[in-house]
Chains A and B, each alone.
Chain A
């Protein structure tokens, strides 16, 4: 158990719909990262937040948005869903802002999104 909690674990929805994925980081971790993993694909970085502020953006579509709340949990909002958005969405947390240089990311178990 990494200490990172993601909900829901599974989600099935239709094209055009909107969903929200939630992530609670490890206690004390200020940074939250979102990654997308499509079927048999690698981990694509979407976005990072640190203590409530957006810090880095990756290959995140305009239809997607995220935020980190004062209690440090984060939500990833996916709208106007398309078939190609079906994927496993991982949240990871770390203690510090620049952690990728010196420390590890702790991953949640992921939210599997299926768009029909």
Chain B
């Protein structure tokens, strides 16, 4: 099943903060976050692993609640360059050859001057 993201869209002014949430009906083994600018390819932001390890971005942080099967992405002091659609992604299995990344419904973020 596809993870559900909220909100669907958010408009900010430069310098404001935003939180994007990702919820799954299945157990989460890890959570990826990607940003896609209009007409471009998705770009990796970070991955959160079980046990709290986080790999990724310097200026964007995230949390991963395994029990609640949720993850949140925190964008603080947003910049114009943060605009785009944010996708969370969750692996289909804990491990194994058939593992695949399932992306969430997406959140459109627009940062205005």
Contact = CB atoms under 8 A, between A and B. Distances in A.
Given A33-B101, A90-B41, A107-B41, A42 B87 contact: yes
B100 A33 contact: yes
A50 B97 contact: yes
Contact of A109 (B29, B40, B92, B95): B40
Interface residues of A, number: 27
Chain B interface, >50% SS class: loop
B2 interface: yes
A104 B98 CA distance: 16
B30 to A, nearest CB: 6
A70 interface: no
Contacts, number: 74
Q: How many residues of B sit at the interface, in one of the four size bands? A: 20 to 34
Contact of A107 (B30, B42, B47): B42
B30 A101 contact: yes
A100 B97 CA distance: 10
Contacts of A55: 97-98, 100
Rank and list the top 7 A-B pairs by shortest CB-CB distance, nearest first.
A104-B44, A107-B41, A100-B91, A100-B101, A43-B103, A56-B98, A56-B100
Given A42-B104, A101-B99, 18 more contacts: A33-B101, A35-B103, A42-B103, A42-B105, A43-B87, A45-B101, A45-B103, A55-B98, A100-B32, A100-B89, A100-B91, A101-B91, A104-B32, A104-B47, A105-B42, A107-B43, A109-B40, A109-B41
